[in-house]
Amino acid sequence: MSTIVRDYSIPANDFTIAGEASSSVRKLLSQLGVSPDVVKRTSIAMYEAEINAVIHGNGGKAHVEIDESKIYICISDEGPGIADLDLAMQEGYSTAPDSIREMGFGAGMGLSNIKKNSDILYIETEINKGTKVNITVFFSK
Amino acid sequence: MKIPEIAQLIKAEICTKNHDPDTEILSACSADLMSDVMAFSKSNALLLTGLVNPQVIRTAEMMDIKAVVFVRGKKPLESMIAMAEEKGIALLATDYPLFVASGKLYQNGIRGRGE
């Protein structure tokens, strides 16, 4: 199988369509016959990262590469960056405003949920430049 | 437990048309925070929530949740019903509060995570 590449844009502050990129990747993986467990783990990790880009990053981009053994996802934004990544990784820590909590997010579970559901997670972040969340999930371990 | 039985038990209206009525619901999760739902992993699951917005349907889709119950008399928006129907997710609405609706289901054999 040759590598399948997909690129999506993630609009800023638009909660009605937030998650469309993840939904589309979920459908694609199911069509490719990837196991339901991997589809679910990938969907959760990508969706949380996509929501983060909407909430914190003024929107951004999703780049996806799928080959025979894995899926690699890069969610990038040009937002404010993460000041203390270790703190942000802690469950329950959140800088999201109340308006986001009213939408059901901002519980401080996003990055830890991404970590739990990905096989490799690498986050690049720079203050006032943006954040790149690199997620890899292997199809079989 | 099948979706029509659940609807009867918690006096819920079924808002969607094209879900599979024979889907067997085995487990449930009650939450208003979608990130908490995303930390839940059980199959053939139901979500009970008081949150009404499109991200509830999106979260259910990502988590492979088969049905969502809106509690405390809340009703899903038309756009949410359309989205759920497209994804084959059943939407229900009950007047019971979250605790009571969850309790009735638990009493009748639906279980949560860690059991």
Break chain B into its structural domains and give their ranges.
3-107
The 8-class DSSP code of residue A2 comes to P
Task: Please work out, in degrees rounded to the nearest 5, the angle formed at the alpha carbon of residue A95 by the alpha carbons of A94 and A100.
Answer: 90
- Give B-chain residues touching A110 at CB under 8 angstroms: 35
Among B39, B49, B53, whose Cβ lies nearest the Cβ of A15?
A: B53
- pLDDT grade for B15, boundaries at 50, 70 and 90: very high
In tens, the pLDDT along B22-80 reads 889 999 999 998 988 988 777 789 999 999 999 999 999 999 899 999 999 999 999 99
- pLDDT grade for B115, boundaries at 50, 70 and 90: low
Residues in chain A: 141
Helix (H) or strand (E) holding B101: helix B98-107
Predicted complex ipTM: 0.84
Of the candidates B94, B83, B34, B57, the residue with the CA atom closest to the CA atom of residue A102: B34
Among A15, A18, A109, whose Cβ lies nearest the Cβ of B36?
A: A109
**Cα B114 to Cα B41: distance, rounded to the nearest angstrom:** 10
Question: Hey, is the C-beta of B62 within 8 angstroms of any chain A C-beta?
Answer: yes
Of the candidates B6, B19, B1, the residue with the CA atom closest to the CA atom of residue B61: B19
A94-101 long-range Cβ contacts below 8 angstroms, 24+ apart: A95/A56, A96/A55, A96/A56, A100/A55, A101/B33
Main-chain dihedrals φ then ψ at residue A97, nearest 5 degrees = -75, 165
What is the structure's pLDDT at A106? 85
Question: Hey, is the C-beta of A48 within 8 angstroms of any chain B C-beta?
Answer: yes
What is the structure's pLDDT at B8? 97
A48 three-state secondary structure: helix
The alpha-carbon gap from A97 to the nearest alpha carbon of chain B, in Å, equals 14
Note whether B35 contacts A36, CB cutoff 8 Å.
Answer: no
- Give A-chain residues touching B34 at CB under 8 angstroms: 104-105
The alpha-carbon gap from B11 to the nearest alpha carbon of chain A, in Å, equals 25
DSSP string, chain A: -PPEEEEEEE-TT-TTTTTHHHHHHHHHHHHTT--HHHHHHHHHHHHHHHHHHHHHSSSEEEEEEE-SSEEEEEEEE-S---S-HHHHHSTT-----HHHHTTT--SS-HHHHHHHH-SEEEEEEETTTEEEEEEEEES--
Which domains does chain A carry? Answer: 4-138 (3.30.565.10)
Q: How large is the average pLDDT for residues B84-110? A: 96
Question: Hey, is the C-beta of B55 within 8 angstroms of any chain A C-beta?
Answer: yes
Superfamily of domain B3-107: HprK N-terminal domain-like (3.40.1390.20)
Which residue ranges in chain A fall short of pLDDT 50? none
What is the structure's pLDDT at A102? 83
Question: Hey, is the C-beta of B86 within 8 angstroms of any chain A C-beta?
Answer: no
CA–CA distances in Å: residue B90 to residues A57, B32, B49, B87, B98 = 33, 18, 14, 9, 18
Within 10 Å of residue A44's Cβ, how many Cβ atoms? 26
Q: How large is the average pLDDT for residues B85-101? A: 96
Note whether B62 contacts A47, CB cutoff 8 Å.
Answer: yes
What is the structure's pLDDT at B4? 94
**Confidence check: pLDDT of B114 > 70:** no
